[in-house]
């Protein structure tokens, strides 16, 4: 295929890891930015991860993807983010045995603050950043706060995997295709406190998902119980379920979600809204500056995700959302105590 358009530079941190390996080949094949858009890949790793990233770069070369206009592997953030249009921050410090939340946040602040600063220093003017590495919301907050001069709305964190998990559960239960389900929402933190909300969700024939659940379960009360006792915990704890069954954390589904997050942000959401953790400007009473998951749409015009406002909650839903926001506030305050913000 011949293309005339300018290549987009995509920087992936933690590129030698599992999610990195699942991301690189789809991006290089055009699965994220479309079949006409050439890409340049920059793979950032720490020294211990360099060989794995270099090996992936060799394999990328062996795929001879027509859209791939070069791969660079580096352990220098300044080199990795130089001219970057899109940054996918995947590499982070996992929680080790006996590690408290404060230790985890401190270790990740040591990664995401310098990366935010390097993005401010070196990235292209149109840079957009998605944080995948956990704790993703607060890592995005740290990176945004450290990127002097870069508008904070360029930073987001991944809750698309949670969104897709919610859609997958509903599709399975209602025996419809996932593509028929729209306007499901993940509110809050990418953690077990998240609130997967179907109150505004609809099916392809515009029937409310709540009505379809009530029909299947024999009434609205039974539907509410299923949501509270089965659906919400299943979605919120799906990561742990995958680890238990697979013996390893979610990889391909996480990479798929990261690709869909960037694709929709850049090229536009298709039918209805999706979920992404973006910087709050006070929407729905969420304290300004927190990186919180909301229902979002993108027109694909370069302006990124826009939060859908004006949706209503019942008391139980509001309490669930507030609990997740409280966790985000506690994480932000713990980071402030470290002197990072």
Ligand X SMILES: NC(=O)c1ccc[n+]([C@@H]2O[C@H](COP(=O)([O-])OP(=O)(O)OC[C@H]3O[C@@H](n4cnc5c(N)ncnc54)[C@H](O)[C@@H]3O)[C@@H](O)[C@H]2O)c1
**Catalytic positions:** 190
Can you tell me the distance from the alpha carbon of 309 to that of 183, in angstroms, rounded to the nearest whole number? 13
Please say which residue, 223 or 291, places its beta carbon nearer to ligand X: 291
Tell which one of 9, 11, 27, 49 touches ligand X (CB under 6 A): 49
Min CB(16)–ligand X separation in Å: 4
**75-114 footprint of ligand X as x/- string (CB under 6 A):** ---------------xxx-x----------------x---
Min CB(77)–ligand X separation in Å: 7
By CB under 6 A, residue 73 contacts ligand X: no
By CB under 6 A, residue 196 contacts ligand X: no
Please say which residue, 80 or 182, places its beta carbon nearer to ligand X: 80
**Count of residues that interact with ligand X, criterion CB under 6 A:** 28
Please say which residue, 161 or 170, places its beta carbon nearer to ligand X: 161
**158-177 footprint of ligand X as x/- string (CB under 6 A):** x--x----------------
Footprint on this chain of ligand X (rule: CB under 6 A): 13-14, 16-20, 44-46, 48-49, 90-92, 94, 111, 132-134, 136, 158, 161, 190, 249-251, 254
């Amino acid at each position: 295929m011949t293309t005339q358009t300018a290549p987009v530079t995509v920087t992936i941190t933690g590129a030698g890891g599992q999610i990195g390996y699942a991301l690189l080949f789809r991006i290089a094949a055009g699965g994220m930015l479309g079949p006409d858009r050439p890409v340049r890949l920059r793979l950032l790793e720490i020294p211990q991860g360099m060989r794995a990233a270099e090996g992936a770069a060799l394999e990328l070369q062996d795929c001879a993807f027509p859209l791939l206009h070069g791969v660079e592997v580096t352990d220098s953030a300044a080199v990795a983010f130089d001219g970057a249009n899109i940054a996918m921050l995947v590499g982070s410090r996992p929680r080790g045995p006996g590690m408290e939340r404060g230790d985890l946040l401190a270790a990740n602040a040591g990664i995401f603050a310098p990366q935010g600063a390097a993005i401010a220093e070196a990235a292209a003017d149109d840079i957009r950043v998605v944080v995948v590495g956990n704790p993703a919301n607060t890592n995005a907050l740290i990176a945004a706060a450290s990127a002097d001069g870069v508008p904070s709305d360029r930073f987001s964190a991944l809750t698309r995997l949670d969104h897709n998990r919610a859609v997958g559960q509903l599709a399975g239960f209602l025996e419809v295709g996932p593509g028929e389900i729209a306007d499901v929402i993940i509110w809050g933190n990418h953690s077990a406190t998240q609130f997967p909300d179907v109150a505004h969700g609809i099916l392809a024939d515009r029937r409310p998902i709540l009505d379809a659940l009530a029909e299947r379960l024999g009434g609205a009360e039974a539907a509410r119980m299923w949501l509270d006792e089965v659906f919400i915990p299943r979605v919120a704890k799906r990561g742990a379920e995958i680890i238990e069954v697979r013996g390893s954390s979610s990889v391909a589904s996480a990479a798929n979600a990261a690709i869909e997050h960037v694709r929709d942000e850049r090229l536009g959401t298709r039918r209805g809204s999706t979920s992404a953790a973006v910087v709050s400007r006070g929407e729905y009473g969420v304290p300004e500056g927190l990186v919180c998951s909301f229902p979002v749409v993108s027109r694909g015009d370069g302006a990124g995700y826009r939060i859908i406002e004006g949706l209503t909650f019942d008391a139980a839903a509001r309490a669930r959302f507030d609990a997740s926001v409280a966790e985000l506030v506690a994480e932000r305050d713990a980071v402030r105590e470290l002197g990072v913000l």
